[in-house]
């Protein structure tokens, strides 16, 4: 006869059987999760292909709706560098608009502020006056 575990009221065999059942249930749930996740990725891809934004908070996604972050081919730094390659100084608001016109996507409600902070922090950009930036000359 199997020994009883102290204090539990169940034998070791019963505990092992319970544990085996839980492992099986966990494996089933993990497989189900993987299938659902794959389906979710398919749906998000279809939504993006159709020009929408695939959010995950049940609000339909889109700007300000939370959910997934906008994905871009280029980083913000690379985009700002391309915008300022013309050589002439530009205002922060104009730089932000030009970045978005070039295809950069952001769900941020304060994208202009993010652009401003990026221009201040990165050494590739220099101030040409209050709120006006340009690409620094390569040394």
Residue 116: the pLDDT is 93
Looking at 49, 68, 87, which one is the last position of a domain? 68
Residue 1: inside a domain, yes or no? no
pLDDT number for residue 139: 52
Q: What is the pLDDT of residue 46?
A: 84
Residues of the chain with pLDDT under 50: 57-64
Give yes or no: residues 10 and 64 share one domain: yes
60 and 82 fall within a common domain? no
Q: What pLDDT, on the 0 to 100 scale, is given for residue 60? A: 46
DSSP H helices in 50-110: 76-83, 92-101
Q: 61 with 81, same domain?
A: no
User: Domains in the chain: how many in total?
Assistant: 2
pLDDT given for residue 2 in this prediction? 62
DSSP 115-136: HHHHHHH-TTEEEEETTEEEEP
Question: Domain limits at 61?
Answer: 6-68
């Amino acid at each position: 006869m199997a020994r009883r575990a102290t204090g539990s009221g169940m034998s070791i065999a019963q505990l092992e059987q319970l544990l085996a059942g839980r492992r099986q249930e966990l494996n089933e749930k993990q497989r189900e999760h993987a299938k659902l996740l794959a389906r979710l990725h398919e749906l998000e891809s279809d939504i993006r292909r159709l020009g929408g934004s695939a959010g995950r908070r049940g609000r339909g996604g889109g700007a300000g709706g939370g959910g997934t972050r906008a994905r871009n081919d280029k980083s913000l730094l690379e985009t700002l560098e391309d915008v300022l390659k013309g050589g002439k100084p530009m205002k922060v608001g104009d730089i932000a608009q030009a970045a978005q016109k070039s295809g950069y996507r952001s769900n941020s409600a304060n994208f202009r502020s993010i652009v401003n902070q990026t221009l201040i922090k990165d050494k590739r950009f220099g101030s040409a006056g209050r709120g006006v930036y340009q690409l620094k000359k390569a040394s």
